[in-house]
Structure 1
Amino acid sequence: MKILLDRPRCEGHGLCEEAAPALMHLDDEGELVLDREEVDGADLAAAQAAVRVCPVAALSLR
């Protein structure tokens, strides 16, 4: 699966980073950076958690 980020929608809350720190992080300016877009196995569970916790629905999986 692939993580998709709707960058204009992202407000930089950082909840996704807490849920999936191996997959994404906030940079020095508070912008979300996807370290990996393709996920499977244990990373898929973390990506699903990140999608769930985003308060503005800026993340999705396909």
Structure 2
Amino acid sequence: MKVAVDDDRCRGHGICCALCPEVFTLNDDGYTTVEDPEVPAEHEEAVRAAADQCPERAITVT
């Protein structure tokens, strides 16, 4: 599974960071980044939940 965050859509709500801090982090500007787009199997469920709960629909899971 891969994950990406659309920088143009992200508004820095941080829900994804709260749900899966192992994958999502906030940068210095307060927006979400993904260090490694390859999601470890143990975090797939949390990443899907983060994508589902993102109010801006900025997270893409493939």
**TM-score of the aligned structures, taking structure 2 as reference length:** 0.88
Unaligned ranges ≥5, structure 1: none
2:13 is the counterpart of 1:23: no
- How do residues 1-62 of structure 1 correspond to structure 2 at under 5 angstroms? 1-62=1-62
Count of residue pairs brought into register by the alignment: 62
Q: Which runs of 4+ in 1 moved over 4 A?
A: none
Does the CA-based 8 Å contact 1:25-1:34 persist in structure 2?
yes
* Percent identity of equivalent pairs: 34
> What TM-score, normalized to structure 1?
0.88
Question: Considering only aligned residues, what root-mean-square deviation do their CA atoms show, in Å?
Answer: 1.1
Q: Which amino acid in the other structure matches residue 45 of structure 1?
A: E
> 1:55, CA displacement in angstroms?
0.3
